Structure 1
């Protein structure tokens, strides 16, 4: 049984810093992040389970399968787990918390962090770098390191304060609405970057002769100019849409799409279709 020891802010910070530096320690295909999670929780487990046999059981229990988003997910679960340990919750309760939250938070975290935030930040940084601006990669590192640290710290402290009320707090539907809104905004922003990231033009042109005042005049019209008159950056937008369609609707793998683009680009460049 857990003792009535009091968890301090210093104890939470010990878990936090262990998590920051060692969360992926011992990652494996069988139990994923369990080793790093268990190591991060050791300061609290040792304090709340002073009996050697009790600590051994807690240690082994926390080596069960664990996998969720390391930015938006693990700190939240860890904070609530610490609160439950302090309250003397059973192993079934703490494991139920982890199992019940790691799946949903993985979906939320992967969408907000990997699919949206990282895509926007690294797209902006890549554009700056392509334009010869050294601040591009520096900006990416700053906007990843500090926000990640801040959101992780907030999660573990907030979840600890919420404790057993955490499931009620995150089950109100607010996270789902935030995720949906962020997805829409993120896709709009990423779509707006397409013309800057994707460079695709055509040098094709057609000529037409006409007799004016008895003289034959040849007029050349470039296809690219006509496309820009209809819709600026039409080719980059179409190429981006094609890739999205193949990935989303046809379930192509990213590697297959990249190979297709290489082949089209090579053939189109050799035939003079693309510039």
Structure 2
């Protein structure tokens, strides 16, 4: 007699493995290529474009409508990274994780990589590569040569397409291998490590993104050549000597705390920053322009 295994009470049946087709992946890539930035907005930035790009993957992997809708909802959270070097890599990795039904890992890949890849990708493409290409093209254009126009078109469109396509499929293959070979705990640790790295990188960008200085001063009495003198000391000067960029970090930390503590919507966070800036700037206590150093008397 053949022995029939009874499933323990509460155990869920094994989910059927559904493999993505080449057509699914191509559709996801082309949506990412053409549509990632079209719906960019100040609330979630590239989130809608990301969800639209990964939708064919979710439709294939989750035949159940509730799971499909839940997957779309997960990928509608805030997302922003470099569209050239970064976004294709993350979309391909997330597609592989979704295919393996590693939902938390798919989310961790997005959160962990979008910060570091934004810094690396923008630096390589816009600050370095574009500067070289457009400088050469502009030089030819100034001389009245059409070669400048065609040079810029070819050297931007072709490499950017090839780099993005290679990233997408490379990340998908590597992500699929990672999801099949590593245990769930290892994937969670990898996602956590990537998240920490992303937060560290984003923290390093605060001084270059958030501009705020205080104009407040305080008075102190000092003795100069035996005479008591009252000095006016700028608070910002003292802060720069002890803890540079303290104000941008404090402001960023305050907004982050408000969002976590009170589940503050990003649009309301923008309103809070606007009102604070208007009120404090109106009273002349803070400014977004570095105060000029005091001239010696």
TM-score range, shorter chain: 0.5 to 0.7
Give the corresponding residue for 1:18.
31
Partner residue of 1:131 out of 139, 143, 154? 143
Give the corresponding residue for 1:187.
none
Matched, 1:50 2:63: yes
Give the corresponding residue for 1:83.
96
Distance in 1 (alpha carbons) for counterparts of 2:35 and 2:116: 23
Distance in 2 (alpha carbons) for counterparts of 1:46 and 1:126: 46
Distance in 2 (alpha carbons) for counterparts of 1:107 and 1:50: 37
Matched, 1:144 2:182: no
The TM-score, its normalising length taken from structure 1, stands at 0.58
Partner residue of 1:70 out of 45, 68, 83? 83
Task: Give SS of 2:42's match.
Answer: coil
Distance in 2 (alpha carbons) for counterparts of 1:147 and 1:161: 21
Give the corresponding residue for 1:29.
42
Distance in 1 (alpha carbons) for counterparts of 2:15 and 2:94: 13
Distance 1:114 1:147, change over 3 A: same
Structure 1 segment 87-236 matched on structure 2, within 5 A: 87-90=100-103, 92-163=104-175, 165=178
Task: Give SS of 2:76's match.
Answer: coil
Distance in 1 (alpha carbons) for counterparts of 2:149 and 2:178: 40
Distance in 2 (alpha carbons) for counterparts of 1:52 and 1:22: 24
Q: Any idea what the Cα deviations from partners look like across 1:230-269, whole Å, max 9, x if unmatched?
A: xxxxxxxxxxxxxxxxxxxxxxxxxx9xxxxxxxxxxxxx
CA contact (8 A) 1:3 1:49 kept: no
Q: Number of aligned pairs?
A: 169
Q: Any idea what the Cα deviations from partners look like across 1:65-116, whole Å, max 9, x if unmatched?
A: 00000000000001111111111112x2211110000000001101100000
The TM-score, its normalising length taken from structure 2, stands at 0.54
Cα RMSD (Å) of the superposition? 2.1
Q: Any idea what the Cα deviations from partners look like across 1:195-235, whole Å, max 9, x if unmatched?
A: xxxxxxxxxxxxxxxxxxxxxxxxxxxxxxxxxxxxxxxxx
Distance 1:55 1:3, change over 3 A: farther
1:2 Cα deviation after fit: 6.7
Distance in 1 (alpha carbons) for counterparts of 2:144 and 2:38: 37
Distance in 1 (alpha carbons) for counterparts of 2:68 and 2:124: 36
Distance in 2 (alpha carbons) for counterparts of 1:53 and 1:25: 27
Distance 1:47 1:27, change over 3 A: same
CA contact (8 A) 1:34 1:66 kept: yes
Provide structure 2 residue ranges, at least 5 long, that are not aligned to the other structure: 1-13, 180-186, 194-288, 290-297
CA contact (8 A) 2:82 2:118 kept: yes
Distance in 1 (alpha carbons) for counterparts of 2:16 and 2:146: 54
Distance 1:151 1:2, change over 3 A: farther
Distance 1:10 1:2, change over 3 A: farther
- 4+ residue stretches of structure 1 with deviation over 6 A? none
